[in-house]
């Protein structure tokens, strides 16, 4: 029996996925959550074979979750789901060597088969997502630089970022400076705008309060 963990903040979608996968005789959903920060905890507790994770969860995005699982629970394969498929995000997923990356509009049978294939050690990426990544410019930032710039852009100060990802404040500032330098930006705010426009940072999947928030202030430390 293949053990599956589901992570999606949209309750209807997560419930539908759990119901559909529950119909498969060789698949069992052993844990569900709508919060990205709980995925690692649940993975360590339930030891799933595969974690099916929405890329754009509001608290901790799917790429960050995938990186944490690779470090702390490497036996758990990661299959990401997305509604948008920004090229920069696809490239980040490929760099993290996730086992799968599918569009949310994939047929249920395609998702079930993808889960089986990643458990067998294969990689399953939607062709349209691969094409988008192939045709786009590569992200010059490292995974950590991208993560730190993402968190900074979400309104966190240096100390908050350091506490969130367990780094020193000096290291966080170095990552932010590195991002500014690599992008040829004038400052952190300019780097954040450039990386967002290029699709290297995650965007909300639907209009809402997160989209309406003001741009971060360069004065924040």
Residue 175: CATH number of its domain = 1.10.10.10
Last residue of a domain, which of 88, 103, 135? 135
Distance CA(142)–CA(67), nearest Å, equals: 12
Same domain, 129 and 161: no
Give yes or no for residue 217 having a pLDDT over 90: no
Across 167-182, average pLDDT: 95
Same domain, 84 and 115: yes
| pLDDT of 175 | 96
Distance CA(35)–CA(7), nearest Å, equals: 7
> pLDDT, tens digit, for every residue of 11-24?
999 999 999 999 99
> pLDDT, tens digit, for every residue of 59-115?
888 888 999 999 999 999 999 998 876 777 787 788 888 999 999 888 889 999 999
81 belongs to a structural domain: yes
Look up the domain containing 81 and give its range: 2-135
What's the longest Cα–Cα distance across the chain? 56
Last residue of a domain, which of 135, 166, 201? 135
Same domain, 181 and 104: no
Binning pLDDT at 50, 70 and 90, where does residue 202 land? Answer: low
Same domain, 58 and 103: yes
Query: 136 or 162: which carries more pLDDT confidence?
Result: 162
Question: Contact, 118 vs 71, CB < 8 A?
Answer: no
Distance CA(149)–CA(205), nearest Å, equals: 19
Judged on CB neighbours under 10 Å (0-12, 13-18, 19+), 169 is middle
Same domain, 122 and 158: no
Query: 181 or 221: which carries more pLDDT confidence?
Result: 181
CATH number at residue 97: 3.40.50.2300
Last residue of a domain, which of 90, 113, 135? 135
Same domain, 103 and 21: yes
């Amino acid at each position: 029996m293949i053990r599956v963990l589901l992570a999606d903040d949209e309750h209807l979608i997560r419930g539908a996925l759990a119901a559909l996968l529950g119909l498969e005789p060789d698949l069992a959903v052993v844990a569900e959550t709508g919060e990205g920060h709980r995925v690692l905890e649940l993975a360590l507790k339930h030891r799933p074979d595969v974690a099916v994770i929405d890329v754009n969860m509001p608290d901790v995005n799917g790429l960050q979750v995938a990186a944490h699982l690779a470090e702390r629970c490497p036996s758990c394969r990661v299959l990401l789901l997305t509604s948008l498929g920004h090229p920069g995000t696809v490239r980040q997923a490929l760099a993290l060597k996730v086992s799968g990356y599918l569009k949310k509009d994939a047929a249920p049978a395609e998702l079930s088969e993808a889960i089986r294939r990643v458990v067998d050690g294969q990689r399953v990426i939607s062709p349209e997502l691969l094409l988008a990544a192939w045709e786009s410019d590569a992200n010059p930032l490292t995974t950590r630089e991208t993560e730190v710039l993402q968190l900074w852009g979400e309104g966190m100060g240096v100390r908050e970022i350091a506490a969130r990802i367990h780094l020193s404040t000096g290291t966080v500032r170095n990552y932010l400076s590195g991002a500014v330098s690599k992008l040829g930006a004038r400052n952190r705010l300019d780097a954040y705008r450039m990386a967002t426009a290029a699709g290297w940072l995650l965007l909300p999947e639907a209009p809402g309060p997160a989209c309406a928030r003001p741009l971060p202030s360069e004065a924040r430390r």
